[in-house]
């Protein structure tokens, strides 16, 4: 369980995190979404006691993280896959970490096996690919068999197999009753992994809801309809609450009406329908919709200021 109350972080005159209040519950995978620069990593660092909040507080399993006497048992964290000394072997990195809490060597070997790094565990971590680095970071997070798992962008640099592996790992961890908090800027990935989503933009809370509910709320379904007379159908359907736009190949995208309503209206007007389908908005669209006002670098991107 993670509980943030009025969590705020100010760097100079910039508010990185602005009055965030949320709770991450055990038993489900909670996704932490936001565009780059939204304050996700800062929030995670505050949860782990690495950065001190300017205002507000955050507790993990009932206490501020710094007050835990057996921290690796409480929280396993992956903040940055490169939080490893490149000259040290993966195994020694994990061993040094385990020793701070008296975790036995056998557990280090188990963690290495669990992430599939047995063959390279004695090699310098500096030679690892991004994906291997992520696996090493996840092994570190799992060392203490923690009640809460916090992973910052865990799928970065992983191949398809690795992404699938992370997905099932997270779901298994949640099924075991652990609190699982995973950040990402990849909405599609979170839609498949997380049951609950906390969305932030420019450091502010935008949404805190179940994944399905959030998609439905932020981007209602669109009906795709293809007919013999698109112009007449568009004129027929268009009203104050209904938006109709061309979807290419002579089809229309209608929002604000159900497939039943579109079908009946067309039938009454004698227009022949060739295709009629409800299209669920993707999480990607829902996310763009939600964070439209909160995307920090949008204006600059449009000017081409960012490469």
Partner 1 sequence: MTATRHVPPAPPPGAVRQRVSQARVARSEWTKLRSLPSTAWSLLITVVSIVGFGVLYCLLRVARPPSDPAALAAFDPIAVSLTGVQLAAIAVGVLGVLLVAGEYATGLIRTSFTAVPRRLPVLWGKAVVFALATLAVCLPATLIAFLVGQSILSEKRLDIALGHPGVARAVLGSALYLAAVGLLGLGLGALLRSTAGAVAALLGLLFGPQLLVGLLPGTWSDQLYRYLPVPAGAAVANVQPDPVILSPWSGFGLFCLYTGLVLALAAWRMARRDA
Q: What span, in angstroms and rounded, lies between the C-alpha atoms of 184 and 163?
A: 12
Cα distance between residue 227 and residue 137, in whole Å: 54
Among 99, 228, 245, 258, binds partner 1 (CB under 8 A): 99
* Cα distance between residue 97 and residue 125, in whole Å: 14
∠ CA 276-281-286, nearest 5°, is: 160
Exposed / middle / buried, residue 145 (Cβ in 10 Å: 0-12, 13-18, 19+): middle
Is residue 57 part of the contact set for partner 1 (CB under 8 A)?
no
Taking the least distance from each CB to partner 1, the nearer of 136 and 197 is 136
- Spatial distance between the Cα atoms of 233 and 273, rounded to a whole number of angstroms: 10
From the CB of 43, what's the least distance to partner 1, in Å?
13
DSSP 73-138: HHEEEE--TT-S-TTSBHHHHHHHHHHTTT--HHHHHHHHHHTT-GGGTTSBGGG--HHHHHHHHH
Based on the shown chain and the rule CB under 8 A, indicate whether residue 191 belongs to the binding site for partner 1: no
Start-to-end CA span in the chain (Å): 39
Q: List the interface residues with partner 1, window 120-139 (CB under 8 A).
A: 132, 135
- What is the nearest approach in angstroms of partner 1 to the Cβ of residue 166? 9
61 lines the binding site for partner 1 (CB under 8 A): no
User: Angle at CA 82, nearest 5°, toward 139 and 42?
Assistant: 95
Binding of partner 1 at residue 269 (CB under 8 A)?
no
- Among 3, 19, 56, 145, which residue sits at the site for partner 1 (rule: CB under 8 A)? 145
Q: Considering only residues 25, 107, 185, 204, which one is a binding residue for partner 1 as defined by CB under 8 A?
A: 107
17 binds partner 1 (CB under 8 A): no
Residue 75 touches partner 1, criterion: CB under 8 A: yes
Residue 115 within binding range of partner 1, rule CB under 8 A: yes
Interface with partner 1, residue 89, by CB under 8 A: yes
Q: Which is nearer to partner 1, 7 or 115 (CB)?
A: 115
Task: For residues 8 and 13, give the distance between their C-alpha atoms in angstroms, rounded to a whole number.
Answer: 13
- Token readout for 73 is 């048992």
Q: Name the segment binding partner 1 (CB under 8 A); options: 31-39, 95-103, 192-200, 266-274.
A: 95-103
* Helix, strand or coil, per DSSP, at residue 226: strand
Tell whether residue 29 is a contact of partner 1 (CB under 8 A).
no
- List residues near partner 1 by CB under 8 A: 45, 48-52, 65-73, 75, 77, 79-80, 82-89, 92-93, 95-104, 107, 110-111, 113-117, 119, 132, 135, 140, 142, 144-145, 162, 165, 168-169, 172-173
């Amino acid at each position: 369980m993670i509980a943030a109350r009025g969590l705020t972080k100010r760097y100079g005159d910039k508010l990185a995190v602005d009055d965030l209040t949320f709770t991450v519950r055990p038993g489900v995978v909670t996704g932490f979404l936001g565009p780059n620069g939204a304050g996700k990593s800062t929030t995670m660092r505050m949860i782990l006691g690495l950065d001190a909040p300017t205002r507000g507080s955050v507790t993990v399993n009932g206490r501020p993280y710094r007050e835990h006497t057996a921290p690796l048992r409480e929280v396993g964290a992956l903040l940055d896959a490169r939080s490893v000394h490149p000259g040290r072997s993966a195994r020694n990195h994990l061993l040094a970490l385990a020793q701070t809490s008296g975790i036995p060597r056998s557990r280090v070997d188990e963690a290495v096996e669990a992430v599939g790094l047995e063959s390279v565990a004695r090699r310098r971590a500096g030679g690892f690919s991004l994906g291997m680095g992520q696996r090493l970071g996840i092994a570190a997070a799992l060392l203490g068999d923690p009640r809460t798992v916090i992973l910052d962008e865990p799928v970065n640099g992983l191949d398809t197999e690795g992404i699938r592996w992370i997905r099932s790992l997270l779901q298994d961890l949640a099924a075991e009753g652990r609190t699982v908090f995973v950040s990402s800027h990849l909405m599609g990935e979170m839609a498949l992994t997380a049951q609950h989503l906390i969305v932030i933009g420019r450091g502010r809370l935008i949404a805190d809801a179940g994944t399905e509910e959030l998609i439905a709320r932020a981007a209602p379904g669109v009906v795709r309809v293809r007919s013999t007379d698109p112009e007449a159908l568009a004129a027929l359907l268009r009203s104050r609450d209904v938006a109709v736009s061309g979807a290419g190949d002579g089809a229309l995208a209608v929002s604000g009406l159900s497939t039943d309503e579109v079908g009946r209206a067309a039938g009454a007007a004698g227009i022949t329908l060739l295709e009629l389908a409800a299209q669920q908005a993707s999480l990607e669209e829902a996310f763009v919709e939600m964070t439209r006002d909160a995307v920090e670098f949008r204006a600059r991107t449009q000017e081409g200021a960012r490469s």
